[in-house]
Amino acid sequence: MFMNCRRVKKWHFLQLVSMCCVMSVLMVCWDHVDNQVVSHVKSYSYRYLINSYDFISKSLSVSPEQAARFGSYPYLLNNKDICKDKDILLLLFVKSSPGNFRRRQAIRSTWGNESYIRHKLGVIIKVVFVMGVHPDVHTDSLLQKIMHKELFKEHMNHGDLVQQDFLDTFHNLTVKLLLQFRWMHENCVHTHFLMSADDDVFIHLPNLVRYLQDLRRQNVRNLWVGHVHRGSPPIRRRDSKYYMPFDMYQ
């Protein structure tokens, strides 16, 4: 009996040692594979976005000539008085498409209701919908008239639309983002925070307000908040919506 117990204990010990060795090998291999995945992403420093923001700020610095080229699209709909209030906690841009009337109305009626935010949360948040023009307006004159009429009516009722004369397509999302920066610098530079969202997401404003108020009390500067897709390489498949050719990004 004594010998059997010793053999069992010895067997368990060998199992434990073997398992530890296997786990160590797996951890080393996994780390190697993970680094290989990230190695062909040139913006490797984005893995450490949490503590370093200087390289992002520098990357947003453009020459006056570049800024003029990016800002060459004229405004079709605009309201320069949106930010007439002085103490604005957040300027919240919502990227939308011209035909998404119901989505915009749903946001105004729910989490993006500025009156509710002001009275229940005690802060001022400005929700602005940004967009280009429908991709088919240049080939369909009837659609152009109908779309312009409906958007103008919506803008007169709510005054929260900003539209520029560029095609509202997936590949022009960068142009739409630059529109937000340009509009903020022209009309709402005194806002404490700037946020960019989509018209198909839900934002929990009470939690967001508490978070931003805490940051404001800390007097933070050069703050960037977002989710970093660690180890996400550019998509090279031509049939993908997110296709990125080598001549655009290497």
The answer as to whether 239 is a domain residue is no
3-state secondary structure of 111: coil
Q: One digit per residue, pLDDT tens: the chain, 250 residues?
A: 444 555 556 666 677 767 766 666 565 555 444 444 333 333 333 343 333 445 444 544 555 565 566 667 899 999 999 999 989 999 999 999 999 999 999 999 999 999 999 999 999 999 999 999 988 877 777 888 888 899 999 999 999 999 998 989 888 888 899 889 999 999 999 999 999 999 999 999 999 999 999 999 998 888 888 877 778 888 888 888 788 888 878 7
What pLDDT does 158 receive? 96
| Residue whose tokens read 């709510």 | 158
> Hunting for tokens 């957040």 — which residue is that?
90
- For the whole model, what pTM was predicted? 0.70
Domain presence at residue 19 = no
Amino acid at 139: T
Residue 23, domain member (yes or no): no
Q: Mind listing the pLDDT tens digit for each residue in 22-43?
A: 666 565 555 444 444 333 333 3
Alpha-carbon span 163 to 146, nearest angstrom? 16
The span from the CA of 33 to the CA of 38, in Å, is 9
Per the domain annotation, does 114 fall within a domain? yes
Whole-angstrom CA distances from 202 to 93, 108, 129, 161, 210 are 13, 12, 15, 19, 17
Q: Which domain holds residue 200?
A: 72-217
CB atoms within 10 A of CB 102: 9
Number of domains in the chain: 1
